[in-house]
């Protein structure tokens, strides 16, 4: 009997409370999909035992990490988390691990691949679309269009869907190897993937909080890809 794949999760960190934290929505979504979630902490060596990594949401990323000076609207940053997640992601990409990035996690993956982000969508793009909702977290507040031929379209078999939205930053240009696979009505990249990889996906919304069949399918396919990686990793 094959063991369940181990999924590493990067938690948020509070400097004020000197405390790591994680929403149970992430762990519950992975458990339901058949994975075994474990937390990854800064200062550790690369976790050779994991079969996939989930980069979670959280605060803003230090603009100096992607070659920019901070604008006034850039929010609270976590240097400890930035350094660890970027190095972790770069090494994971070299090893072809299945990767799933949510909100900030998508932005970390993009920066690790050489891409950039908008420090503040409204200021830097002039969009009038509301990306930071004032509605219950699980509730979908704007639609996205799925790009034809993408892995995401093949998974969902739809061209349009509504998602929740809890961010003020977004991908400005894609890193090496990434392709946009969903966009919002104002043209911003809402999801990105590496088509040549088994599973490397970043989404700007929070699927772990939505509890719909489409969002649960993202975690199921992520865990399935991690299972395939586990089989390769442990093969004699």
* Catalytic positions: 103, 206, 208
Residues 6+ apart with CB under 8 A from 189: 170, 171, 174, 180, 182, 183, 204
Tell me the CA distances in angstroms from 181 to 128, 130, 201, 217, one per residue in order.
Answer: 22, 20, 9, 16
Give the whole-angstrom CA distance, residue 129 versus residue 186.
7
Which is it for the CA torsion 136, 146, 113, 225, positive or negative?
Answer: positive
What end-to-end distance do the CA atoms of the chain give, in Å?
16
Q: Which DSSP letter does residue 61 get?
A: P
Q: Confirm if 209 and 172 have CB atoms less than 8 A apart.
A: no
Q: State how far the Cα of 5 lies from the Cα of 199, in Å rounded to an integer.
A: 14
């Amino acid at each position: 009997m094959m063991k369940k794949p181990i999924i590493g999760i990067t938690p948020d960190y509070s400097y004020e409370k000197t405390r790591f934290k994680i929403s149970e929505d992430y762990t519950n979504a992975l458990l339901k999909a058949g994975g075994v979630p474990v937390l990854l902490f800064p200062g550790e060596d690369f976790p050779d035992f994991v079969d996939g990594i989930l980069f979670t949401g959280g605060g803003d990323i230090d603009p100096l990490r992607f070659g920019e000076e901070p604008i006034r609207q850039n929010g609270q940053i976590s240097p400890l988390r930035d350094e660890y997640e970027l190095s972790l992601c770069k090494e994971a990409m070299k090893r072809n691990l299945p990767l799933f990035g949510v909100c900030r996690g998508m932005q970390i993956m993009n920066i690790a691949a050489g891409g950039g982000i908008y420090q503040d969508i409204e200021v830097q793009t002039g969009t009038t679309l509301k990306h930071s909702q004032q509605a219950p977290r699980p509730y979908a507040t704007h639609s996205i269009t799925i790009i034809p031929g993408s892995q995401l379209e093949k998974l969902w078999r739809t061209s349009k869907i509504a998602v929740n939205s809890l961010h003020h930053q977004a991908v400005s240009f894609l890193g090496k190897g990434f392709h946009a696979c969903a966009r919002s009505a104002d043209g911003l990249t809402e999801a990105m993937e590496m088509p040549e990889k088994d599973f490397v996906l970043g989404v700007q919304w929070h699927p772990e909080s939505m509890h719909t069949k489409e969002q649960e399918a993202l975690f199921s396919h992520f865990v399935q890809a991690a299972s395939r990686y586990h089989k390769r990793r442990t093969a004699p």
